[in-house]
Amino acid sequence: MPAPGPGEMAATVAHLRAVTKRHSARFERAIPLIASENLLSPYAKELMISDLHSRYAEGLPGDRYYEGNEDVDEIERTCLALAKRLFRCSFADVRPTSGTVANLAVLKALTETGDLVGTSRLADGAHISSAGFGAFGLRGVKPVYYPWDPERMTIDVAKTREVLRAVRPKTCLFGLSLFLFPMPIEELRPTLEEIGARGWYDAAHVLGLIAGGQFQDPLHEGCTVLSASTHKTLPGPQHGILLGQTEDPELRKKLESGAFPGVTSNHHLHAMAALAVSLAEHLEFGREYARRTIENAQALAQALHERGFDVLAPNLGFTKSHTLAVRVEKEGGGAEVAGRLAASGIIANKNLLPGDRSPKHPGGVRLGTPEVTRVGMGPKEMVRIAELFDDLLHKGKDPSAVADAGAELKKRFTTLQFCFGAGEAAYRYYDLVGRDPS
């Protein structure tokens, strides 16, 4: 595509392209360790910029509010079938446009204003959906917090049983954004049954690990409903999904109307189609990708621990997921350390850790391995990344030297893996006809 032409607005468009290109180049050099980020495959990306982006299709396949949806119907039916096959479940809805929107759809379907809903505290790793200032507040439900077991780094089963029996919430949400270990759903299942509560699992972070058979399987352990975003360990587009293990027509209808018209109008057809590609790719490559993602998280945790970092849960093997958490108070605190890492090309986020006293001063950083695994890094590279942390945060090495060393490592890992079209550039910016818009 030629440059947009003369004039102020054309120059603005050209500038936006240049900044986006700069952004891509930044990430091509960087060591990306945000636990909630990943890269889209070439075939999924292609559908993201297809004509589907321009269309409306409210409703469900075969029952739309708009005309012209014959092909959309076929794509959505395929997407639904792939989702049910990948997660071995009986219900799917691929219309939520994000994880939070999926959570809102479940809240609309399962709860009434004023209800009590079981969940974890933000400091114990819960997503902001559970907060009064988030989706819970919007729906007007009140959280009932599960006590935390710092020894097992998950919900304290015995104390949670007591809370649930005393308060008897009708809905119990499980799932975290700092998700190191599976949640004890099977252990809590008899209590949920006893009090007549429905188990709901927010799988945003671990969706790809569940699908790859490398984490717990909540829909077969006691939760009837699962909500998630689709772009973390499942390397799909930014979108959302609802899954269920239920034949109850009333519950299915409630979930479907929670999604539409509850919390969406159009459901971003380009992203839904890209999701279908990602689900198919995960059926083909997901088991190995999930296995390696966890292996890398454990290797990075071990290598940081050996270099004197306070990685959480050493007695439990640090993590059983894609995520590890490092308490960095002695290195300056979560905010300062995340900033120093970013200035050295290592992208991570500050994070509240269990036991933190003030939400304004997160004591740790959260690190994740979905993206470095996606570009082909393995345990050897995790050791090198830990050395970069050590150089920067313990040995006082110059940030730009650390950034150069990180870029040197990254040079060999800039193509997409675990997808059809593997080997395609992961970060390079191309225009629609494949040219570099310099």
Residues within the interface to ligand DSN (CB under 6 A): 36, 99, 127, 177, 204
Closest residue to ligand DSN, judged by C-beta, is 36
Nearest distance from C-beta of residue 204 to ligand DSN, angstroms: 6
CA–CA separation, 381 and 384 (whole Å):
5
Cβ-Cβ contacts under 8 Å for 61 (sequence gap 6 or more): 69, 72, 73, 74, 76, 77, 80
Nearest distance from C-beta of residue 228 to ligand DSN, angstroms: 10
Considering beta carbons, is residue 160 or 177 the nearer one to ligand DSN?
177
CA–CA separation, 389 and 391 (whole Å):
6
Token pair for 27: 């990430």
Nearest to 241 by CA among 73, 126, 102: 102
Considering beta carbons, is residue 256 or 356 the nearer one to ligand DSN?
356
Considering beta carbons, is residue 245 or 349 the nearer one to ligand DSN?
349
Considering beta carbons, is residue 368 or 376 the nearer one to ligand DSN?
368
Nearest distance from C-beta of residue 119 to ligand DSN, angstroms: 15
Nearest to 326 by CA among 372, 363, 375, 285: 363
- Kindly give the pairing relationship between strand 59-60 and strand 198-202: unpaired
Nearest distance from C-beta of residue 296 to ligand DSN, angstroms: 18
Nearest distance from C-beta of residue 99 to ligand DSN, angstroms: 6
Cβ-Cβ contacts under 8 Å for 229 (sequence gap 6 or more): 36, 98, 99, 100, 102, 204, 207, 238, 239, 240, 241
Considering beta carbons, is residue 177 or 296 the nearer one to ligand DSN?
177
- Kindly give the pairing relationship between strand 171-174 and strand 154-155: unpaired
Nearest distance from C-beta of residue 177 to ligand DSN, angstroms: 4
Determine the residue type at 331: E
User: Helix %, strand %, coil % for the chain, to 5?
Assistant: 45, 15, 40
Nearest to 175 by CA among 251, 234, 124, 107: 124
- Kindly give the pairing relationship between strand 225-229 and strand 198-202: parallel
Nearest to 259 by CA among 57, 120, 81: 57
Nearest distance from C-beta of residue 219 to ligand DSN, angstroms: 21
Considering beta carbons, is residue 117 or 204 the nearer one to ligand DSN?
204
Considering beta carbons, is residue 177 or 224 the nearer one to ligand DSN?
177
- Kindly give the pairing relationship between strand 349-351 and strand 364-368: antiparallel
CA–CA separation, 17 and 283 (whole Å):
35
Cα dihedral angle (227, 351, 145, 242), rounded to 10 degrees? 0
Considering beta carbons, is residue 222 or 354 the nearer one to ligand DSN?
354
CA–CA separation, 52 and 183 (whole Å):
38
Nearest distance from C-beta of residue 351 to ligand DSN, angstroms: 9
Rounded to 10°, the helix 334-343/399-410 angle is: 60
Nearest distance from C-beta of residue 127 to ligand DSN, angstroms: 6
Nearest distance from C-beta of residue 58 to ligand DSN, angstroms: 25
Considering beta carbons, is residue 127 or 139 the nearer one to ligand DSN?
127
Considering beta carbons, is residue 36 or 69 the nearer one to ligand DSN?
36
Cβ neighbourhood burial of 15 (10 Å; 0-12, 13-18, 19+):
exposed
